[in-house]
């Protein structure tokens, strides 16, 4: 086939793709805009699901003979290889981010198996990221503490655990019954003794009354017998007979049961005193395994930004501050108490009163004039009044005026995020605007290399990209469909999907459809949900540079030697 013919066919394919007549499933080696091309490495629907990795490998499974079978894509061999070690599982889980954890969780009948990206079985991962000296773990409904080597230092017996410092933790153990003091116990015993004596006396009185009643009844019966003998010819009426029989039957039943009919002779029910419960907290030093038991408080919690103090609360409206040895630093008598530094605290005496700043001795450092106070840094405090927010230092000096509409948060290094007129923007500590207040939501990309600023548009949420210095790299033209990897990502303009770079340059035309994407820089996981999520079809692609055809070098024409005349 001639070279011109190939170019013509390629142009037709690109045209059909742009018109949406070629769906993504048939993206074999579709041409892209002179730089990238997507090449399928699986058939549409061949695999049920897949996890792709930054190194260009992937883990996937398909159904064979009614069983789930695992395969690994080897980028060096450019093919899927069936794992030698297969695992029986009902469901699997993995991080949706290509920057997230790499292991895969396999679940079967309540049991978990963990494998790495090579398919090898590994130990269960830690519940917390990083390399802390100590970390919490959860086992069988309870919390405990392990060290960096994974060894249990505090057994899992607590309802919850909070971290205060690199080695100190707050642990809630549940409730226990309040033990009575000696005086209370003696008073209780005296009360019980008195009640017992009264009970015995009542029982003796009841027995005497019963005997008297029996004697009275016997006497009555004798009198009645003599009267009957004297007046045998006089018969009682039916009504009188019925009353007498009822009274006799009742007396007989009472005698048999040992009961008396006098209402004063009934025994009083014994009153059981309800036990009193208290919440039990511990401050634990995981390094020394020493525990400080706290039973005087309804609640004990950690403070954000403090590794020396904890919040103590008698109830919902009596809060104070304690140290890690169990001592009260600020008496729990405030409706709210906050730790702002090792020597500065914010307290609120009533909900309708402003916060005031006090030191360790309770001396007022800054008089109350702010409705809201929050820890910001080791030098600054965020304050709010009448819906406006700013920053002050520990002496109360205003460092950033109260003119912003929302909380001021640390964004990245010297950048602050806040809002004006319900739009987010970025400023520096001097109040200079770095990213204008016109965005719906602002965040950093996963690797914290770019600022992503989102706006509402007719087609959804479009995203603009800024540098950390506030330079706009691309306007909010596209919806981002993937993470940024190697300065590239997948995006769509409302009608078509593209592979673009952070400057907005189109590197490849992916096509149309209703598709969900994962992108690792080297692989694309495309899930077509045009027929509904339940009927989704997954296809895997590799991203390769478009091969430029080199023009054929023309050989220089050989000059014929001149004929000699």
Q: What's the token pair of residue 83?
A: 């794992």
Residue 191 pLDDT exceeds 50? no
Q: What's the token pair of residue 543?
A: 């991203």
For 72, phi then psi, to 5°, come to -125, 130
Q: How many helices (H) and strands (E) does the chain have?
A: 3, 42
Q: Poorest-confidence range of 35-39, 281-285, 407-411? A: 35-39
Give how far Cα 558 sits from Cα of 190, 229, 513, 551, 554, Å.
Answer: 131, 170, 57, 21, 12
Res 550: pLDDT = 45
Per DSSP, 485 falls in state: B
Q: How far apart are CA 15 and CA 494, in angstroms?
A: 18
Q: Strand, coil or helix: what is 288?
A: coil
Top-confidence residue, 244 or 446: 446
Share above pLDDT 70 across residues of the chain, in percent, rounded to a whole number: 73
Per DSSP, 75 falls in state: T
For 514, phi then psi, to 5°, come to -115, 100
Residue 189 pLDDT exceeds 90? no
113 in Cβ contact with 104 (< 8 Å): no
Q: How far apart are CA 522 and CA 271, in angstroms?
A: 77
86 in Cβ contact with 69 (< 8 Å): yes
Buried b (16+ CB within 10 A) or exposed e, 303-322: beebeebbbbbeeeebbbbb
Share above pLDDT 90 across residues of the chain, in percent, rounded to a whole number: 65
End-to-end CA separation in angstroms for the chain: 47
Neighbours of 91 (CB within 10 A): 9
Res 180: pLDDT = 63
Give how far Cα 313 sits from Cα of 54, 433, 526, Å.
Answer: 49, 41, 53
**Residue 392 exposure: Cα atoms within 13 Å on the Cβ side:** 19
Residue 519 pLDDT exceeds 70? yes
Q: What's the token pair of residue 98?
A: 């290509």
428 in Cβ contact with 414 (< 8 Å): yes
Residue 42 pLDDT exceeds 80? yes
| Confidence band of 433 (pLDDT split at 50, 70, 90) | very high
Residues linked to residue 161 through DSSP beta bridges, in sequence order: 171
Question: How far out from the chain centre does Cα 208 lie?
Answer: 71
Q: How far apart are CA 347 and CA 448, in angstroms?
A: 36
**Residue 131 exposure: Cα atoms within 13 Å on the Cβ side:** 0
- Model confidence over 16-25: pLDDT tens digits? 444 444 444 4
- Model confidence over 214-256: pLDDT tens digits? 555 554 455 544 444 444 444 444 444 444 444 445 445 444 4
For 181, phi then psi, to 5°, come to -75, 170
């Amino acid at each position: 086939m001639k070279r011109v013919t190939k170019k013509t066919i390629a142009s037709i394919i690109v045209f059909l793709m742009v018109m949406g007549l070629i769906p993504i499933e048939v993206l074999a080696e579709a041409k892209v805009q002179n730089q990238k091309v997507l090449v399928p490495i699986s058939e549409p629907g061949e695999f049920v699901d897949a996890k792709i990795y930054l190194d260009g490998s992937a883990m996937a499974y398909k159904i064979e003979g009614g069983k789930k079978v695992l395969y690994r894509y080897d980028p060096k061999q450019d093919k899927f290889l069936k794992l030698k070690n297969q695992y029986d599982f009902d469901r699997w889980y993995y991080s949706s981010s290509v920057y997230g954890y790499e292991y895969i969780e396999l679940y079967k009948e309540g049991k978990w198996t963990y494998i790495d990206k090579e398919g090898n079985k590994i130990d269960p991962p830690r519940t917390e990221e990083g390399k802390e000296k100590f970390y919490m773990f959860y086992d069988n409904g309870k919390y405990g503490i392990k060290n960096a080597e994974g060894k249990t230092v505090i057994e899992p017996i607590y309802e919850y655990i909070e971290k205060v410092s690199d080695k100190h933790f707050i642990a809630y153990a549940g409730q226990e019954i309040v033990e009575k003091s000696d005086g209370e116990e003696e008073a209780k015993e005296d009360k019980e003794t008195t009640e017992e004596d009264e009970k015995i006396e009542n029982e003796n009185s009841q027995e005497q009354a019963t005997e008297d009643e029996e004697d009275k009844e016997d006497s009555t019966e004798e009198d009645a017998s003599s009267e009957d003998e004297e007046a045998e010819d006089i018969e009682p009426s039916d009504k009188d007979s019925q009353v007498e029989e009822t009274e006799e039957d009742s007396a007989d039943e009472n005698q048999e049961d040992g009961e008396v009919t006098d209402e004063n002779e009934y025994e009083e029910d014994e009153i059981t005193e309800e036990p009193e419960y208290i919440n039990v907290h511990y401050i634990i030093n995981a390094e020394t395994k020493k525990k400080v038991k706290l039973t005087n408080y309804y609640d004990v919690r950690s403070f954000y930004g403090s590794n020396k103090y904890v919040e103590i609360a008698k109830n919902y409206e009596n809060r104070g501050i304690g140290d890690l040895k169990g001592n009260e630093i600020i008496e729990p008598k405030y409706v709210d108490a906050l730790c702002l530094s090792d020597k500065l605290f914010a307290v609120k005496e009533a909900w309708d009163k402003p916060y005031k700043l006090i030191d360790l001795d309770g001396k007022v450092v800054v008089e109350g004039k702010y409705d809201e106070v929050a820890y910001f840094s080791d030098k600054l405090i965020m304050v709010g009044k009448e819906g406006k927010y700013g920053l002050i230092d520990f002496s109360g000096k205003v460092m950033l005026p109260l003119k912003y509409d929302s909380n001021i948060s640390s964004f990245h290094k010297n950048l602050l995020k806040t809002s004006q007129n319900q739009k987010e923007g970025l400023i520096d500590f001097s109040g200079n605007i770095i990213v204008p207040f016109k965005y719906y939501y602002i965040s950093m990309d996963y690797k914290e290399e770019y600022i992503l600023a989102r706006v509402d548009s007719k087609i959804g949420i479009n995203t603009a990209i800024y540098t950390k210095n506030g330079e706009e790299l691309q306007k909010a033209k596209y919806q981002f469909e993937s993470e940024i990897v190697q300065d590239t990502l997948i995006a769509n303009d409302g009608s078509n999907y593209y592979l673009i770079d952070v400057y907005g340059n189109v590197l490849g035309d992916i096509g149309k459809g209703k598709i969900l994407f994962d992108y690792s820089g080297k692989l694309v996981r495309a899930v077509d949900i045009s027929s509904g999520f339940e009927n989704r079809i997954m296809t895997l692609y590799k991203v390769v540079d478009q091969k430029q055809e080199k023009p054929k070098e023309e050989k220089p024409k050989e000059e014929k030697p001149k004929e000699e005349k």
